[in-house]
Structure 1
Amino acid sequence: MLAFLSIAMVVIISLSLGPRYIPVVTLIDIFRSGDGSSTASFIVLDSRLPRTLLGLICGAALGVAGALMQAVTRNPLADPGILGVNAGAAFSMTLAAGLFGVQAIDAYIWAAFAGAVVVSLLVFLLAGGNKPGSSAAASPIRLVLAGVAVSAVLAGIGSSITLINPQAFDVMRVWAVGSLAGRDMHVVAAIAPFIAAGLAVALLVAPSLNAISLGEDLARSVGANIALTYSLSVVAVTLLAGATTAAIGPIGFVGLMVPHAVRWLVGPDQRKIILLTLIAGPVLLLAADVLGRLILRPGELEAGIVSAFVGAPVLILLARRKQARGL
């Protein structure tokens, strides 16, 4: 109950606070009447509502993607970026902006998502995902090594293109920070189906992740299909982190910190971790977004910067607690 109250409160705060304060009574009138002619209605319906919805679905996606990666790799400090999702999205965006002059977010969101999917599949194949019968197929260590290697190569190539093309640099500079601002309902509608599918797959594999956390040998002895669990987890992380990164940029610490904190609260049961992360992730991301609006008002500090600034010390404190160190 407390979790649902927290998310309801942060949604109301997100719709109300900003350079201009919108009272709750006014919010009720706006949604009741549907009148978009007033200034307050324009602010709420065209600006704050899309970014609030993005905060909800992207926060949930990042949190669950982080929980999956931490469970699969059995590393409580693993991050969705390990699969090369961020690197693939960034590289594809660099090509779209630098070579084809893409500027509109509705256009480059598809390029970024395509890059995230392609690179994630490449990492999975390099890690042995094309050998489902092998005991070492797509193992956690192989996934990490392949992801780091591919990410490093793409980051180097992408940086070279960005530095020699000012147009690409301008687009990447805004996107790479990570922000919910400037997105409309078209972006929400574009990524929502992918995130919904990713969350469904994550909930499906959660029971198997509990068995894998005990070790692969014991997981096999209780009938868990390890290769299938790894494969479905990669699919879920690709859908969740890929769509989110394409829409709002590579926001860090949400996928890293939220599952870590939730695990400290509810224990190692992956089903409980994923369910609570669905709520805690949006709360953190929306709180960071609102705080960014208030710190430099009437200007704005991007949510990616705020989440990193707040998340780093909190994560350090959590990591130092013995109860939160292991899965």
Structure 2
Amino acid sequence: MTSTAVAPAASGAAAVRRPRRLRALWLLIAAAVLVALAAASVAVGSREVGWDDIVAALGGATDGFDRAAVATRIPRTLLAVLAGAALAVSGAVMQGVTRNPLADPGILGVNMGASLAVVTGIAFFGLASASAQIWVAIAGAAIAAVFVYVVGSLGRGGATPLKLALAGAATSAALVSFTSAIVLPRGDISDSVRSWQIGGVGGATAASIQQVLPFVISGFVICLLSARGLNSLALGDELAAGLGERVALARGGAALGAVVLCGAVTAIAGPIGFVGLVVPHACRLLVGVDHRWLLPFSAVVGACLLTAADILGRVVARPAEIDVGIITALVGAPFFIAIVRRQKVKSL
């Protein structure tokens, strides 16, 4: 990957530095908002539930319609929190690795690579267990990420943000076509796969949460350990190497964490887009570009965004619901267009 000028990156970093106390305050505020949204997610839906029933359901009681509803809302709330946090951190890491303000698991085709791998496994190999689907999704996400980066690096200038975005968009379109070609002739799996491809958390269960949790935790740990390396990469490859950073190792390790997070969540919740694009940009305005703060803050804000999107999808279409993948697309697409139109944004 070709390095960009050091001075703009350094000056940009200096311009958005924030005091440690202010960063901690924003993190606490975001955590408090997440707790409030999680409580609302359990209480609000096609039918509002009283706090007595919520407390009883948390204690294990599932008798009665209201308590049974709470028992189904708790796993989907947990999945919304996990998926939002994972996708936001994955997007922040991808933007740091590629120094591309347009990087996002959906835009770069990583989500669709995981999706195609899962659909192929289900259709041709009878892939049924959640753990197997997660492993296959991570492999598919990794292959798609490498392919997009290689294609975007071809030609003069290397892997520029625009070339990576175009390569990712073209790859996503091709992978969607391949997925449709596999699903359409298979009436036995088409309904469930089409619903899953929209991206949602409505089908969450305690078992699925237990299956995906170790992968999400592993991905978070890898990404957090890569935070210092991402800060070095922001200065440019040459300066990072001069400071003693192993550039290829730092970039590869961070990318691995992002792929694990994206692939694991996609296997359970489907390809949810734009969370990894919107959240890191918003978080940089509040806590700056230091990845040691940006990654945990992105995790909390991403969890807030997806939980809020799930609540909104349940409220606006009562008694039916709108999947979170549609809500995030409605929010993220205008944001993506706004970033593209900012001609001064060439790299992070």
TM-score band, normalised by the shorter chain?
0.7 to 0.9
Q: Please say which of residues 33-42 and 145-154 is displaced more in the overlay.
A: 145-154
Count of aligned pairs between the two proteins: 315
Unpaired runs of at least 5, structure 1: 130-137
C-alpha distance 312-201 of structure 1, shift in aligned 2 (>3 A): same
Letter paired with 2:270: G
Correspondence for 2:91 among 58, 61, 66: 66
Q: How does 1:1-327 map to 2 (within 5 A)?
A: 1-31=28-58, 33-45=59-71, 47-81=72-106, 84-99=109-124, 107=128, 109-123=130-144, 151=172, 154-314=175-335, 316=337, 327=348
Give the whole-Å Cα distance in 2 for the aligned partners of 1:308 and 1:184. 24
Is contact 1:93-1:172 (8 Å) kept?
Answer: no
| Alignment match, 2:20 | none
Letter paired with 1:195: V
C-alpha distance 26-170 of structure 1, shift in aligned 2 (>3 A): closer
Deviation, structure 1 residue 28: 2.8
C-alpha distance 83-113 of structure 1, shift in aligned 2 (>3 A): farther
Letter paired with 1:57: L
Give the whole-Å Cα distance in 2 for the aligned partners of 1:176 and 1:128. 24
Give the whole-Å Cα distance in 2 for the aligned partners of 1:94 and 1:145. 24
Q: Please say which of residues 196-205 and 34-43 is displaced more in the overlay.
A: 34-43
| Alignment match, 2:12 | none
Deviation, structure 1 residue 314: 4.7
Is contact 1:93-1:108 (8 Å) kept?
Answer: no
Is contact 2:274-2:333 (8 Å) kept?
Answer: yes
Letter paired with 1:43: A
C-alpha distance 21-120 of structure 1, shift in aligned 2 (>3 A): closer
| Alignment match, 1:134 | none
- Give the CA RMSD over aligned residues: 3.2
Deviation, structure 1 residue 148: 6.5
| Alignment match, 1:135 | none
| Alignment match, 2:153 | none
| Deviations 1:82-114 (CA, angstroms, capped at 9, x unpaired) | 665323322233224433566xxxx26445423
Give the whole-Å Cα distance in 2 for the aligned partners of 1:151 and 1:316. 17
Deviation, structure 1 residue 26: 3.3
Q: The residue matched to 1:164 in structure 2 has which SS? A: coil
Letter paired with 1:40: D
Give the whole-Å Cα distance in 2 for the aligned partners of 1:5 and 1:121. 34
Unpaired runs of at least 5, structure 2: 1-27, 151-158
Is contact 2:113-2:144 (8 Å) kept?
Answer: no
| Alignment match, 2:3 | none
TM-score where L is the length of structure 1: 0.85
Is contact 2:91-2:280 (8 Å) kept?
Answer: yes
Deviation, structure 1 residue 73: 0.7
Is contact 1:50-1:183 (8 Å) kept?
Answer: yes
Letter paired with 2:325: G
Deviation, structure 1 residue 145: 8.6
C-alpha distance 120-180 of structure 1, shift in aligned 2 (>3 A): closer
Letter paired with 1:77: L
Is contact 2:107-2:165 (8 Å) kept?
Answer: yes
Give the whole-Å Cα distance in 1 for the aligned partners of 2:334 and 2:168. 26
Q: The residue matched to 2:226 in structure 1 has which SS? A: helix
Give the whole-Å Cα distance in 2 for the aligned partners of 1:18 and 1:28. 17
| Alignment match, 1:132 | none
Letter paired with 2:195: V
Is contact 1:98-1:167 (8 Å) kept?
Answer: no
Percent same amino acid among aligned pairs?
Answer: 39
TM-score where L is the length of structure 2: 0.80
C-alpha distance 91-276 of structure 1, shift in aligned 2 (>3 A): same
C-alpha distance 184-170 of structure 1, shift in aligned 2 (>3 A): same
Q: The residue matched to 1:182 in structure 2 has which SS? A: coil
Q: The residue matched to 1:80 in structure 2 has which SS? A: coil
Letter paired with 1:73: T
Letter paired with 1:88: G
